[in-house]
Structure 1
Amino acid sequence: MNHGTTGYIMTDDAKPQLTRIQQKNREIILEGALTVFSASGFRGATIDQIAEASGLSKPNVLYYFGSKDEIYQTLLTALLDTWLAPMLHIDSEGDPLDEVLRYVAAKLQLSRDYPRESRLFAYEVLQGAPHLGDILGGRLRELVDSTVVVLEGWMEQGRLKRVEPHHLIFSIWALTQHYADFEAQIKAVLGPGHDPYAEAQVYLDNLFRQMLAP
């Protein structure tokens, strides 16, 4: 392994990699940007706000990312990878009801653990997904289509009650991500002494179990 003079670590295949300090600074910037974008959306956010939220100077932010658009795209790409992971883990050889309920639980857990990311994604979609249109109509659609094939197979075998599989997936997204996107409303309505996500887990498990059990 050779060290270059650009601040990058050069691997044997000559591909530049960020040093540990540079990687840490990028992560700090992305964390600050997530706070700003999830509160203001892409249009309302500025590099100055991102720099302030990151605790770094504006020139420092622009050293690591060439533009606000680049920061936003980086966040959205990472977010989509995280959001899609539970669907990739649906096992066509597993018990159908268990697999669907596990997916519901995983999506709800993502909403609990990553509420800002969920709101950022919601902002993007509400604007017509200008930065994600190709991905939503490409990689996401392909993954959903392959999952629909699995669901339809289980339904044809009588192992799941027959429902429209696309809308089953949409309803899972809506009922789980709602708890992140409308967290303030839910907490205000429930009042103190409630754990919205724990209560939602019980409710959604029962809901989808009754809907899909053959």
Structure 2
Amino acid sequence: MQQLKARATETQRKTRIQVENEEKILDAALEEFSVHGFRGATIDRIATHAGMSKPNLLYYFRRKQDIYEALIARLLDTWLEPLRELDAVGDPLPELRSYIRRKLEMARDFPRESRLFANEMLQGAPRIKRLLETELKPLVDEKAEVLKGWMKAGRINPVDPRHLIFSIWSTTQHYADFDVQVQVILGPDRGAEGRFEDAARYLETLFLDGLRPKAGSAADAPRIRTL
């Protein structure tokens, strides 16, 4: 995570006013990009939403691309934090339960960020593929080895670890990207705030019951390729 550390060091050198103004710009840009996408977003509207002039904004970010990349880098750093906390020495099922819960909490608390990231992926990640290669893939590879270790030790059932991670991503992020649909289908009785707790309980049952080894069956279970 060298790039993220470098950005943190750079932030420490900035004045309080500079940091506050950059936060205003990035928050305004998040709204603009999540609604209009990269192509439809404009510097003028971002400046207006941030409550500053366009020249003032350009003092902090020279191009729309620079704002977008800074926003995505911050988003990806936040998005990956729960996966970083998956602890190899922990108990696998509680560790995975915590991960699922954290991902759902992020779906609840950061819907704009989720929408922005999903839009970038749907376009083929033209502006952040380098970040995926340098920040995302090494972390997923590292945690896939953790999962494989648990599987080899018989602590969870053998499955493809990367597809397991993909499945957790897709099921939890659904509640951010399709929240309107979720609320409509669940209806007024079940589509309120409690929908996330209901989702958490369901996903815990789905994933953890499927991964929990059955007594006496581990040795006879068919092996699934986990490479």
Regarding TM over 0.5, the answer is yes
> What RMSD in Å do the two structures reach over aligned CA positions?
1.5
**Is 1:69 the equivalent of 2:68?**
no
**Is 1:197 the equivalent of 2:196?**
yes
Correspondent of 1:60 among 40, 52, 56: 56
> Could you say if the C-alpha distance between residues 91 and 73 of structure 1 is closer, same or farther in structure 2, counting changes exceeding 3 Å?
same
> Could you say if the C-alpha distance between residues 48 and 109 of structure 1 is closer, same or farther in structure 2, counting changes exceeding 3 Å?
same
What's the secondary structure of 1:162's corresponding residue? coil
Q: Distance in 1 between matches of 2:96 and 2:134?
A: 23
**Is 1:148 the equivalent of 2:147?**
no
Shift of 1:147: 0.8
Q: Distance in 1 between matches of 2:48 and 2:178?
A: 26
**Is 1:44 the equivalent of 2:40?**
yes
Aligned residues: 200
Mapping 1:58-97, distance limit 5 Å: 58-97=54-93
**Is 1:114 the equivalent of 2:134?**
no
Mapping 1:162-173, distance limit 5 Å: 162-173=158-169
Partner of 1:210: 209
**Is 1:131 the equivalent of 2:130?**
no
What's the secondary structure of 1:56's corresponding residue? coil
- 1:95-153 Cα distance to aligned partner (Å, 9 max, x none): 01111111111111111111111111111111111121112123211111111111111
Residue segments in structure 2 that go unaligned for 5+ positions in a row:
1-10, 214-227
Amino acid in the other structure paired with 2:84: L
Paired residues of 2:144 and 2:162 also in contact (CA < 8 A): yes
Amino acid in the other structure paired with 2:44: D
Shift of 1:59: 1.7
Amino acid in the other structure paired with 2:135: R
Return the structure number with greater relative CO, CA threshold 8 A, min gap 6.
Answer: 2
Shift of 1:192: 2.0
Amino acid in the other structure paired with 1:180: A
Shift of 1:62: 1.2
Q: Distance in 2 between matches of 1:84 and 1:33?
A: 21
Paired residues of 2:25 and 2:46 also in contact (CA < 8 A): yes
- 1:160-213 Cα distance to aligned partner (Å, 9 max, x none): 011111100000000011111111211222222333212111111111121111
Q: Distance in 2 between matches of 1:138 and 1:48?
A: 32
Instruction: Provide the TM-score with structure 1 as the length reference.
Output: 0.89
**Is 1:28 the equivalent of 2:24?**
yes
Runs of 4+ in structure 1 deviating by more than 6 angstroms, as ranges, are none
Q: Distance in 1 between matches of 2:17 and 2:133?
A: 36
What's the secondary structure of 2:13's corresponding residue? strand
Partner of 1:11: none
Q: Distance in 2 between matches of 1:113 and 1:120?
A: 14
Instruction: Provide the TM-score with structure 2 as the length reference.
Output: 0.84
Q: Distance in 2 between matches of 1:136 and 1:16?
A: 25
